Amino acid sequence: MLGYAIKRIALALLILVVVMLGMFAMVFVIPGDPASIALGPRATPELKALLIQRMGLDQPLLSQIWHFFRAAATGDLGIDVWSKRPVLDVILEVFPQTLLLGVVSLGWAVVLGIALGCLAVIWRDTFIDRLLGVLSVSMISVPSFVIALYSLLIFAVWLGWLPAIGAGQKGDWASQARALILPSFAIGVTWIGYIARLVRASMLEVMGANHIRTARAFGLPETVVVLKYALRIAIVPTIAIVAIGAGSILSSAVFVETVFSRPGIGTLITGAVEKRNYPVVMGTVLFMTAFYLVVVTAADLLIARLDPRVRDVLRG
Amino acid sequence: MSFAAEEITEELPPPGRSALGQLLRDPMGMTGAILVITFIILAIFAPLLAPYDPIHIDVRHKFQPPNLAHWAGTDQLGRDMLSRLIWGARVALGISMTATGIAGVLGLLLGLVAGFGPRWLDAVLVLFFDSFSSLPMIMFALAVITVLGPGIPTLILVIVLVSVPGYGRLIRAQTLALKGADYIQAERTIGASSARIILRHLLPNVVGPLVILLSMDIPVVIMLEAGLSYLNLGVGPPTPSWGNILYDGYTSLRSAPYMVIAAGIPLVLCTLGFTFLGEGLRDALDPKLKLRAAR
């Protein structure tokens, strides 16, 4: 297990280095130099020279790469061109909001998804099973920002039940919770579909196993067999897909946060892209990639711990 | 891009004769096929089917709710919404099919190279595939857009770059699985060239799964195009895209709610159609899943 863990973490670090090199290379494919882009039309030769010096663009290439990696390793992601604050501070300020949104969305999606998946298995090959199947596929394929817009229109504009924008008042838990309902609904719907399907499929695979047959032979009711014996094993692939899905949740969050004008990584980076605020965009991309790699690696290790067979498969 | 690749890992047989019949007998696949064909017709014949010029501005008739002259109403500049939505189908399908097409071909080539070529090249390509798929898709897309500026070519480039690793991985896995097969070993013993083995035996066997994966990715790509255009980072005005029409609707959500409602419908139906079709195709072509469904 330890050997596998070391290998897996080393791979994640290697990928992070490749990604960073790729991002560094992107600075050189920009039409025009990054300093003029960051400054935009306001650029005067003096300002440009100052910025080029500050960004280290006048240094030799290898030393630039070295500085970039050393700075990133110590958490220095550069300075926000507009607010003049460290990029890491700007990111850390809004990151908890996105994390909260993602966790809440996934949380209720996992609960509902597993429940629907179990229902489909209990009533398998009936009309309900087929209905749940179509429903899951439909939930997967509807874009989250359309759900966000429709739910915003219905529940905030027409019915006026829930707030339309923002993340609620600071310190007021009730208003923050109310502001979470619609965005987490919009992000979660897709995941109910995914998880329901996955739970159903992996459970049906488990249903033929020996220990299930034994449980049936002992005369246990079908509900007990499904919930107590099949679900335990079927839950493993769900962890995997939830971890891989961290990236896709982030995508939904970017769009949904914009629809609800919610502070977070999504509104931060889209605003930065519009203003061509280069350090913030690159810093956020790097931060989120690192975060994503941590999540995926942790999930892989967790799965390997739960199911030793996986260790051998992933080793290849 | 993210999940379909995980789902199709089994070796699939080449499309059989009954596959089409199978697809059409399945109500979900049938619905998907009808929806997809409808949108393809809308996209191809947009100039004939759209009742008005989609970019003709008529400020005197702005914000008209749906009526007999304008079935889906008019927008903030008095442009006919229905015409814009029909042209939007052309933009959505044009971009998504071009981009997934290019990505499919590139993925096929890289996957074959990785699976069939020398070991070290395989290792480099796998690291490249893994690194690219480790980037959260949206973050990568936004980084590229910042560097190159928004627009349709950037959008296509972004989609190609985020899709290729998934396709490459699939083709590589298929190639590796087939390479060890007895009949290919036999062929090699007789002295067949690598080119012959790739063209005669590998290619026909790996194309089927790739087509299924491509059709399942099209809705994801349509969503990405609409989403980025909604953020004003994809297809820019005045070209109609479902995403930027939704954004126009969002800015006048209180005064003209019909705009958001009307613009969401084709987007939802289109992604739904392609997803249903992809599911139907997979069920029809993959006997393993059929077996599972029959149990």
Instruction: Please tell me if residue B124 touches chain A, with a CB cutoff of 8 Å.
Output: no
Whether this model's ipTM surpasses 0.90 comes out as no
CATH code at position A100:
1.10.3720.10
pLDDT value of residue B41: 93
Instruction: Please tell me if residue B74 touches chain A, with a CB cutoff of 8 Å.
Output: no
User: Choosing among B134, B169, B225, B254, which should be mutated to test the A contact, i.e. which has the most A CBs within 10 A?
Assistant: B134
pLDDT at B283 exceeding the cut of 90 = no
- Name residues whose C-beta falls within 8 Å of residue B103's C-beta, 6 or more positions apart in sequence: B159, B160, B163, B164, B167
Instruction: Say which CATH topology domain B53-294 has.
Output: MetI-like fold (1.10.3720)
| Among B139, B253, B272, beta carbon nearest to A141 | B272
Secondary structure (3-state) at B45 = coil
Mean pLDDT of B280-294: 57
Instruction: Please tell me if residue B257 touches chain A, with a CB cutoff of 8 Å.
Output: yes
pLDDT value of residue B222: 92
Instruction: Please tell me if residue B249 touches chain A, with a CB cutoff of 8 Å.
Output: yes
Mean pLDDT of B18-44: 84
Instruction: Please tell me if residue B152 touches chain A, with a CB cutoff of 8 Å.
Output: no
CB atoms within 10 A of CB A48: 17
pLDDT at A270 exceeding the cut of 80 = yes
Domain count, chain A: 1
**Nearest-CA neighbor of B72 among B264, B268, B270?**
B264
- A275 within some domain: no
Rounded Cα distance, B199 and B206, in Å: 11
pLDDT in tens, B153-191: 999 998 998 889 889 988 888 888 887 788 888 888 888
What is the pTM (predicted TM-score) of this model? 0.83
Report how many Cβ contacts below 8 Å link chain A to chain B.
147
- A115 within some domain: yes
**Amino acid letter for position B216:** M
**Nearest-CA neighbor of B3 among A246, A148, A236?**
A246
| C-beta separation of A147 from A156 below 8 A | no
| Among A205, A250, A273, beta carbon nearest to B233 | A273
Q: Do B146 and A278 touch (CB under 8 A)?
A: yes
Rounded Cα distance, B122 and B113, in Å: 7
pLDDT value of residue B271: 92
Most confident of A231-240, B68-77, B183-192, B227-236: B227-236
- Alpha helices of chain A — where are they, by DSSP H? 2-29, 34-39, 45-55, 61-73, 87-122, 127-141, 144-151, 173-206, 210-217, 222-224, 231-244, 246-259, 265-274, 278-306, 308-315
Mean pLDDT of A97-106: 90
Mean pLDDT of B83-104: 92
Domain ranges of chain B: 53-294
| Among A141, A241, A282, beta carbon nearest to B143 | A282
pLDDT at B17 exceeding the cut of 60 = no
Instruction: Please tell me if residue A250 touches chain B, with a CB cutoff of 8 Å.
Output: yes
Question: A301: distance to nearest CA of chain B, Å?
Answer: 16
Q: Do A153 and B257 touch (CB under 8 A)?
A: yes
**In the structure, what pLDDT confidence band is assigned to residue B5 with cuts at 50, 70 and 90?**
very low
| Among B137, B231, B272, beta carbon nearest to A270 | B231
Q: Do A153 and B253 touch (CB under 8 A)?
A: yes
Mean pLDDT of B11-32: 68
Rounded Cα distance, B163 and B101, in Å: 10
User: Choosing among B7, B10, B138, B255, which should be mutated to test the A contact, i.e. which has the most A CBs within 10 A?
Assistant: B138
Query: A236: domain range?
Result: 95-260
- A74 within some domain: no
